[in-house]
Amino acid sequence: MAQEEMQFQAEVSRLLDIVAHSLYSEKEIFLRELISNASDACDRLRYAALTQPELMKDESSFAIRLKVDPTAKTLTIADNGIGMARQDLIDNLGTIARSGTAAFVEQLESKPEGSSLIGQFGVGFYSAFMVAKQVEVSTRKAGEAEGWRWTSDGQGAFTIAEDGEAPARGTRIVLHLREGDEEYMDPMRIRQIVSTYSDHIAVPVILESRKEDEPDQTLNAASALWTRPKSEITEEQYKEFYHHVGHTFDEPWLRLHFKAEGMLEYTGLLFIPSTKPFDLFHPDRKTGIKLYVKRVFITDDCSELLPPYLRFLRGIVDTEDLPLNVSRELLQNNPRLAKIRTALTKRILSELKKKAEKAPEEYATFWNTFGPVFKEGLYEDQGQREALLELARFRSTANQGGAGTDLVSLADYVGRMKPGQDAIYTITGGDPEALAKSPQIEGFVAKGIEVLLLSDAVDDFWLTAIPDYDGKAFKSVTRGGADLENIDKLEGADESDEKKADENSPALDALIAFVKLTLKDKVKDVRSSARLTSSPVCLVADEGDMDMHLERLLKQQNQLEHSSARILEINPDHALVKALAAQVGKEGGGAVVEDAAWLLLDQALIIEGEPLPDAAAFSRRLSSLVERGLISGG
- Nearer to ligand ADP by Cβ, of 41 and 593: the residue is 41
Contact of residue 307 among ligand ADP, Mg ion, none (CB under 5-8 Å per partner type): none
Residue 84's binding partner, choosing from Mg ion, ligand ADP, none, with beta-carbon cut-off 5 to 8 A by kind? ligand ADP
Give the per-residue contact string, 64-83, with ligand ADP (x = CB under 6 A; - = no).
---------------x-xxx
- Asked if residues 118 and 22 have their Cβ atoms less than 8 Å apart, the reply is yes
* Residue 89 beta carbon to ligand ADP: minimum distance, rounded to whole angstroms: 8
Instruction: Give the shortest CB-124-to-Mg ion separation in angstroms.
Output: 4
**Least separation, in Å, of the C-beta of 43 and ligand ADP?**
10
Q: Which does 82 bind (CB under 5 to 8 A by kind): Mg ion, ligand ADP, none?
A: ligand ADP
Piece of the chain touching ligand ADP by CB under 6 A; list 23-31, 32-40, 333-341, 456-464: 32-40
For the chain, the C-alpha Rg in angstroms (whole number) is 33
Q: CB-wise, 127 or 478, nearer to ligand ADP?
A: 127
Closer residue to ligand ADP (CB): 89 or 570:
89
Minimum separation from the CB atom of position 41 to ligand ADP (A): 3
Using the rule CB under 6 A, give the single segment among 31-39, 105-113, 494-502, 541-549 that binds ligand ADP.
31-39
Which of 81, 83, 124, 315 touches Mg ion by CB under 5 A? 124
C-beta closer to ligand ADP: residue 128 or 302: 128
Q: Which residues pair with 426 in a beta bridge?
A: 452, 476
Give the torsion through C-alpha atoms of 514, 517, 523, 525, to 10 deg: 60
8, 12, 29, 37: residue in contact with ligand ADP (rule CB under 6 A):
37
| Binding residue (CB under 6 A) for ligand ADP from 125, 258, 278, 379 | 125
CB-wise, 83 or 439, nearer to Mg ion? 83
d(CA 86, CA 91): 9
- Nearest Cα neighbor of 339 from 383, 305, 313, 311 is 305
Rounded to an integer, what distance in angstroms lies between the CA atom of residue 442 and that of residue 487?
A: 15
Whether the CB-CB separation of 298 and 305 falls below 8 Å is answered with no
Closer CB to ligand ADP, 118 or 537, in the complex: 118
Min dist. Cβ of residue 228 to Mg ion (A): 23
Residue 79 near which of Mg ion, ligand ADP, none (CB within 5-8 Å, type-dependent): ligand ADP
Cβ-proximal residue to ligand ADP, closest one: 124
Pairing between strand 289-293 and 393-396? unpaired
Instruction: Please select the residue that binds ligand ADP; options are 11, 28, 33, 376, rule is CB under 6 A.
Output: 33
Q: Are 216 and 76 in contact (CB under 8 A)?
A: no
Long-range contacts of 204-212 (CB under 8 A, 24+ apart): 204/62, 204/63, 204/64, 205/35, 205/64, 205/66, 206/63, 206/64, 206/65, 206/66, 207/66, 207/67, 208/65, 208/66, 208/67, 210/68
Least Å from the CB of residue 41 to Mg ion:
10
Amino acid letter, residue 360: P
288 binds ligand ADP (CB under 6 A): no
Considering the rule CB under 6 A, would residue 105 count as an interface residue with ligand ADP? no
* Beta carbons within 10 angstroms of residue 272's beta carbon: 22
Please select the residue that binds Mg ion; options are 24, 29, 31, 37, rule is CB under 5 A: 37
Report, in Å, the least distance between residue 154 CB and ligand ADP. Answer: 13
Q: Is 415 exposed, middle or buried (0-12, 13-18, 19+ CB in 10 A)?
A: exposed
Binding segment toward ligand ADP, per CB under 6 A, in 33-41, 142-150, 287-295, 598-606: 33-41
Binding pattern to Mg ion, positions 75-114, x when CB under 5 A? ----------------------------------------
Terminal CA-to-CA distance of the chain, rounded, Å? 93
Whether residue 384 contacts residue 347, with contact meaning beta carbons closer than 8 Å, is answered with no
CB closer to Mg ion out of 300 and 488: 300
Which of residues 22, 171, 198, 426 is near ligand ADP by CB under 6 A?
171
Of 122 and 439, which CB lies nearer to ligand ADP in the complex structure?
A: 122
- Strand-pair partners of 526: 568
Candidates 382, 393, 376; CA nearest to 342 is 382
- 247 near ligand ADP (CB under 6 A): yes
Which residue, 36 or 529, is less far from Mg ion as judged by CB?
36
Q: Which of 12, 84, 105, 177 contacts ligand ADP by CB under 6 A?
A: 84
Cα dist. 216→28, 202, 210, 222, 377 in Å?
A: 22, 18, 9, 15, 52
Which amino acid appears at position 218 of this protein?
T
**Least distance from C-beta 476 to ligand ADP, angstroms?**
44
Binding at 421: pick from ligand ADP, Mg ion, none (beta carbon under 5-8 Å per type): none
With CB under 6 A as the rule, give the number of residues binding ligand ADP: 15
Tell me if 271 sits within 8 A of 315, measured CB to CB: yes
Calculate the CA 262 to chain-centre distance: 34
- Determine the Cα–Cα distance for residues 443 and 439; give it in Å rounded to an integer: 8
Measured distance CA(541)–CA(551) in Å, rounded = 10
DSSP string, 550-571: HHHHHHHTTS-S-PPPEEEEE-
Beta bridge partners, 175, equal 75, 135
Q: Closer to ligand ADP by CB, 167 or 268: give it.
A: 167
Residues lying near Mg ion in the complex (CB under 5 A) are found at 36-37, 124
Residues forming contacts to ligand ADP in the complex (CB under 6 A) are 33, 37-38, 41, 79, 81-84, 92-93, 124-125, 171, 247
